[in-house]
Structure 1
Amino acid sequence: MKAIIVDTFGPPSNLLIKDVPKPIPKPGQVLIRIKAFGLNRAELYMRRGEWAESMPIIGIECVGIIEACPDNSFPVKTAVAALMGGLGRTINGSYAEYTVAPVLNVATLAESEDDLCLSWEQAAAIPETYATAWMCLFGNLELKKGQKLLVRGATSALGLAAVTLAAHFGARVTGTTRNPGRHSQLIEAGAETVEPEDSHLAERLNLREAAKFDTVLELVGNSTLLESLALVRRGGRLCLAGFVGGVAPINFNPLLQMVSGVHFSFFGSFVLGTEPFPLSEVPLQEILKMVASGELEVKPSRVFRFDEIQEAHEMMEANEANGKLVILGC
């Protein structure tokens, strides 16, 4: 089969297409013929050698068709999404014609390709991003209709998914972005207001306790975390789930810097498909149907061919994605 290999850690030019053996699924795994896959910043770090663990074939998600399933958990030809479960980290991932994935990390999208309500490239923009957004919003943050939500780093793929879902379910959303040209994109996604993303957000908003946010989804990361904690009301919740501002560590002394009465949690999408975080908690089929019916507006910001992987990574690394980048299977 054809696969995109991280030849050596380094720039996008180190992603090379090679012929490799087709994987064979073991019991508890499925073999998937990959139709498309979304790009994620984790793969950028894997390509550079900055991730704790990675395989020669990276890629943490895909959509495609079941070709084999030794324990019959999924019928052959089922249209599915696969995400996490070691993909790209401990088992070869989705940058290939085929991959194997644990059955716990695979979700049915339709009974067959003919029954799929979206194109493959549109479906590929949903799994990891929307599953993570769903778990952050309705798991960690316990978001309710009418609550005020702040999404920092809202024009990232995950941020846009969170804004779209939260607004659809009745939250009052404020998004931040460093790019003034993308304000309209957030308004179209459902945000009520948009704020410039900088390190003086709390000072600029100058919110009284009663006007603070019920919930904050922190996607910029460590560089703005402490400030975001100060924007949450007593009894409110903050979830850290992204690091678009980088992963440099911070000195954090809870005794001096943690705000009393604020619930602070972390969500990492690598737990999806584990016993505490079953993939079945995410209504992926229903989300696809909402997109197909027009209730949710979801589409890739750009679709690349398999042999354009280097260009796609260059765009992601330059922070020019403007949403979810998708690669079509070869």
Structure 2
Amino acid sequence: MRAITISSYGGPEVLTYTALPDPVPGEGEVLIRVRAFGLNHAEAYMRSGAWGDVAAVTGIECAGTVARDPSGRLAEGTRVVAILGGMGRTRNGSYAELVTVPSSNVVPVGADLPWSDLAAVPQVYATAWSALHGNLAVRPGQAVLVRGATAALGQAAVTLAADHGAVTVATTRDPGRAGLLRSLGAARVLVDDGDLAGQVAGLGLTVDAVLDLVGNTALRDSLRAVRPRGRVCQLGFLGGLGPLPDFDPLTDLPSGVQLSFFGSAFVLGGPDFPLTDVPLEDIFGKSASGAYRARPARVFGFDEIVAAHRLMESGDALGKLVVTVP
């Protein structure tokens, strides 16, 4: 099979095309013929070496058809999506024509969507749904602030929160992207100047929950932006992977505020966070009907992976990037 491998840790140019033996599914695994895969910032971290030694073939999600399921659960040709399960990290991932995935991380799909549209949904929507409903326990009518909302994951979070009936406040560093966020359901858009807590206070807003994709560089400010006894979930590191220096709960964590983290790349689809908890079929259905604007911002060919990674890291993608596999 053709695969895209990490030749050495570094920039997008280290991604190279290689012929590898076709993988063989073991017990509890499914072999998938990949038709498209979404790009995720986690793959840039893996490619760069920021997460230490990882599998040669990266890629943490895909859409395709079942090539073989030794258990007989899924018939050959069944349309499926696959998420995580160690892909790209502890086992070869989805940047290839074929991939083996733990069966617990494979979900059959009934929605009639093109492969590129299917691949744009699973990782970002499953992650956003898990954080909104699991970590933040968001209820209809509550005010949710999504920090880093123009990223693909942020757009999914805005869409899901608004659809759930939350009053969604979205942030962006570019005022020109406010219209995009409002079209996804954001009731209000704030330009992130690094002092969102000050903006929230100045506007008299009450924020019940914050979903922070920016990460360590903004965490202290996010904690100050939420109401007493509110919740903050850190979901990403768009501001960089550098550690948060000298964090002191006594001075940095407001009394009563609950702080949590959701590392989907390590747990989603596992026994504690099963994919059966995520209403993926409903999400696909709403994407197919147009209720969710979940289509990819741009679709690349398999031979354009370096350009795709460069665009992802530029911050100018304005949504999910997808690669199709011929």
Is the aligned partner of 1:274 residue 2:270? yes
- Aligned counterpart, 2:294: 298
**Residues 1:23 and 2:18 aligned together:** no
Q: Which amino acid aligns with 1:88?
A: G
Question: 1:90 aligns to what?
Answer: 90
Counterpart code for 1:27: E
Partner secondary structure for residue 227 of structure 2:
strand
The aligned residue for residue 65 of structure 2 is: 65
Percent sequence identity over matched residues? 49
- What is the rounded CA distance, in whole Å, between the counterparts of 1:3 and 1:53 in structure 2? 18
Aligned residue runs from structure 1 range 200-279, under 5 A: 200-206=195-201, 211-250=205-244, 251-269=246-264, 270-279=266-275
Aligned residue number for residue 316 of structure 1: 312
Q: Structure 1 residues 42-51 or 93-102, which shifts more?
A: 42-51
Quote how far apart the aligned CAs of 1:198 are. 2.2
- How far off its partner does 1:18 sit? 1.4
Most deviating of 276-285 and 193-202: 193-202
In structure 2, list runs of 5 or more residues that go unmatched.
none
Q: Normalising by structure 1, report the TM-score.
A: 0.96
Q: Does the 8 Å CA contact 1:214/1:236 hold for their aligned counterparts?
A: yes
Q: CA deviation at 1:133?
A: 0.5
How many residues in Structure 1 have an aligned counterpart in Structure 2? 324
Q: Distance in 2 between matches of 1:297 and 1:257?
A: 37
User: What secondary structure sits across from 1:233 in the alignment?
Assistant: coil
Q: Is the 8 A contact 1:207 1:231 kept in 2?
A: no
Q: Which residue of 1 aligns with 2:165?
A: 170
**Residue 55 of structure 1 aligns with which residue?**
55
Across the aligned residues of Structure 1 and Structure 2, the Cα RMSD in angstroms comes to 1.2
Q: CA-to-partner distance for each residue in 1:172-230, whole Å, 9 max, x for gaps?
A: 1111111122111001011011111121221233259x842011101100011011111
Is the 1:59–1:88 contact (alpha carbons within 8 Å) kept by the matching residues of 2? yes
Q: Identify the residue that residue 113 of structure 1 maps to in structure 2.
A: none
Of 126-135 and 317-326, deviating more is 317-326
1:254-289 deviation line (CA, Å, top 9, x unaligned):
122111111111101121111110010111111111
What is the alpha-carbon distance in structure 2 between the residues aligned to residue 144 and residue 17 of structure 1? 46
Per the TM alignment, residue 235 of structure 1 is displaced from its structure 2 partner at its CA by 2.1
Which residue, 131, 151, 157 being the options, matches 2:152?
Answer: 157
1:139 matches 2:137: no
SS at match of 1:292: helix
Q: Partners in 2 of 1:140 and 1:256 — Cα distance? A: 23
Asked whether the equivalents of residues 220 and 245 of structure 1 are also in contact (C-alpha less than 8 Å), the reply is: yes
Gaps of 5+ in 1: 111-115
Q: TM-score, structure 2 length as denominator? A: 0.97
Match for 1:293: what amino acid? S
Residues 152, 177 of structure 1: 8 Å contact kept: yes
